[in-house]
Amino acid sequence: MNGKQKFSTDELDSFVKSIDSYIIGEDVQRIQINPEVEAVLNLTGIELKTLSSEDCCEKAYCLYAYCNYVQSVFNRHQVKLYWCDSQINRMVAKQADSFSKYMKWEQKYYTVVEQDEFVKKIFEAKLVSEARVIWLTDKIRDMRKMADTLMELSKRKTYS
C-alpha cells in the first residue's frame, strides 16, 4: 500500500466488529453505563461518613460494575492500538528493502509514516487510541481504588 491508495477504515471497522461478534458469541455480557455512578464518584467526605455499611457495599458494587464498563472501552481502544501497530509494522517491513540495511527501525518507521498517506492515517488513528488507552488506564485504577476504599469503609462500619 502506498500513498496513492485512499485510506479506508473498513478494515479496522471489520476487525472491531469481529471482536464484538466474538464477545457476543462467547456470551460475555456488554455492560451499560449506570447513571448512579456519577453520584458515587462525587461523594464528599461528609456524605461518606453518613453512609451505612450496606450503602458502602452497594456503592462499591456500582463502581466495580462501572470499572468493568470502562475496562471494556479500554480494551476496544487497545485492540485498535494493536491493530494499528501491526499494520504500520507490516507496511514498514514491506518497504524495508528501499532503505539502507544499517538504518535504524525507528527511522524507517517514521520515514514510511511521513511518505505514505495511508500509513500516516493509520498512525494518526494509533495516536488517538494510544492517548485513550493511557488516559483510561489511570481512570480504571483510580475508580477501582475508590471502590476498594468503599469496601474497606463498609467493613470498618460493620465491625465498629
| pLDDT tens string 66-78 | 998 899 889 888 9
| pLDDT tens string 85-123 | 998 999 999 988 888 889 898 899 999 999 988 899 899
Residue 12 has pLDDT above 90, yes or no: no
pTM of the model: 0.75
Query: Residue 9's pLDDT is what?
Result: 59
Please provide the DSSP assignment of the chain as one string.
--TTSPP-SHHHHHHHHHHHHHHHHTTPPPPPPPTHHHHHHT--HHHHHH--HHHHHHHHHHHHHHHHHHHHHHHHHHHHHHHHHHHHHHHHHHHGGGS-TTS-HHHHHHHHHHH-HHHHHHHHHHHHHHHHHHHHHHHHHHHHHHHHHHHHHHHHHH--
